[in-house]
Structure 1
């Protein structure tokens, strides 16, 4: 266990399943009270909350669409109302449209950038306004931004924007002792990784496997801990050595 997060309040967007859920569970296991955010799958969110509570943690589920600025602000309002002042924010929401750049539509662009870029930007904005001094802000990007993949222009472009938001905000919040970092998973066992790509992805890691959500979540827990107090403005790769 890292430095205890006991007494800390954490908000994790997009945390009803996958990496987000693993991060929420990891923060709760280290003592934080956690808000599990979801947009459509209430059952999955309540299952995540139940799992945290069964292990002795504290959690609630709050619905909000991160592509909506008013919903983001309401999410933060409700978090403060139900839990108290916020110490940790993990901006985890991510959607993807996989197709060649020349085939992407305006609707595709608006969908992906609306959630990944716009949604993360305004989540970071609210986090900057509300996180207590000495707090932690983590934005989930992707290891894909340092690679060359076809059919991923929308996804990687939107995540590249997130990485720049982090660099700028880390400078703006440094005087308050708030760290701001990007966390970039590699190939991970979630529904964003197509079945057809899994064998190839596993072969790209020195470990010979794809990542588990907990592999990434443990890095997020570290970034939320006191041990990470001297890290800010960084893009932490959590990809099992894939380069």
Structure 2
């Protein structure tokens, strides 16, 4: 029997990148998966079709999780479709780099609305339907624990996620629900390609950014999205039934 047989999972921001691989992996383990997207309907449907071609079950639901009412809509539509909810993987998020003097209140509001409020309120919406044995995984980052030039807003938003997980654990634990966070390191996605140069010291930005990123991990390479997905699949399975309130670093041994 597959690890997630008869389970229903929502994965936010799952039309591409790490989110796509999470949705694919959960489906491979038997879960019925809700592929959430904000604007990329064609890509979301591609993910759904790939899951179904592999014998899984999935549906795409549009929702911008930075909007509280849309998070509620996402969860309600998922329960309406499948009759239950067992797993939430809060993956949607945005990057941001900016010098201190350049940061505006609008930047702060945009980053924290998606990375913090967006995650908190989709968890709130999902928790209304989760029963004992329910699983929640939020998305933090190694950036919450390391220093990176001009990454203050993003790092702070991801540190907030780890704090939320720690503090929600006893509250949800009373109901038999676990909540954890994943903290990926550098991962080979299109987002990483766009932002890799910013993760290097300004004096070294003429060097190959991907090579510099690789040099900062014990395994000397970037993660593949499916490796992050495998760690999340563990956290939402029965194998992780006694793990809650934790942030799991999947960073290749960050140096």
Q: Quote the Cα distance in structure 2 between the aligned partners of 1:101 and 1:16.
A: 32
Q: After the TM superposition, list the runs of 4 or more consecutive aligned residues in structure 1 that deviate by more than 4 angstroms.
A: none
> Residue 109 and residue 182 in structure 1: after superposition, are their counterparts in 2 closer, same or farther (change >3 A)?
same
Q: Quote the Cα distance in structure 1 between the aligned partners of 2:63 and 2:34.
A: 11
Name the counterpart of 1:236: 248
Q: Quote the Cα distance in structure 2 between the aligned partners of 1:9 and 1:241.
A: 32
Q: How does 1:132-151 map to 2 (within 5 A)?
A: 132-151=131-150
Name the counterpart of 1:200: 212
CA-CA distance at 1:230 after TM superposition: 0.7
* 3-state SS in 2 of match to 1:187: coil
> Residue 235 and residue 195 in structure 1: after superposition, are their counterparts in 2 closer, same or farther (change >3 A)?
closer
Name the counterpart of 1:15: 14
Matched, 1:190 2:189: yes
CA-CA distance at 1:50 after TM superposition: 0.9
Where do 5+ consecutive residues of structure 1 fail to align? none
Name the counterpart of 1:221: 233
Residues 161-192 of structure 1, C-alpha deviations (whole Å, 9 max, x = no match): 11111111111011221110010000001233
Q: Quote the Cα distance in structure 1 between the aligned partners of 2:196 and 2:232.
A: 25
Name the counterpart of 2:167: 168
Aligned residue-pair number:
242
Q: Quote the Cα distance in structure 2 between the aligned partners of 1:132 and 1:79.
A: 15
| Structure of higher CA gyration radius | 2
* 3-state SS in 2 of match to 1:192: helix
Q: How does 1:88-167 map to 2 (within 5 A)?
A: 88-167=87-166
Residues 81-138 of structure 1, C-alpha deviations (whole Å, 9 max, x = no match): 1112100000111101211122111221111111001101101111222212111000
Contact 1:101–1:154, Cα closer than 8 Å, also in 2: no
Matched, 1:76 2:88: no
* 3-state SS in 2 of match to 1:232: coil
Q: Which moved more, 1:36-45 or 1:103-112?
A: 103-112
Q: Quote the Cα distance in structure 1 between the aligned partners of 2:101 and 2:49.
A: 44
Q: Which moved more, 1:195-204 or 1:146-155?
A: 195-204
Q: Quote the Cα distance in structure 2 between the aligned partners of 1:231 and 1:186.
A: 21
Contact 2:143–2:154, Cα closer than 8 Å, also in 1: no
TM-score by length of 1: 0.96
* 3-state SS in 2 of match to 1:35: strand
Q: Quote the Cα distance in structure 1 between the aligned partners of 2:79 and 2:19.
A: 20
Contact 1:85–1:132, Cα closer than 8 Å, also in 2: no
CA-CA distance at 1:195 after TM superposition: 4.7
CA-CA distance at 1:143 after TM superposition: 1.0
TM-score by length of 2: 0.92
Q: Quote the Cα distance in structure 2 between the aligned partners of 1:154 and 1:144.
A: 10
Q: Quote the Cα distance in structure 2 between the aligned partners of 1:20 and 1:192.
A: 12
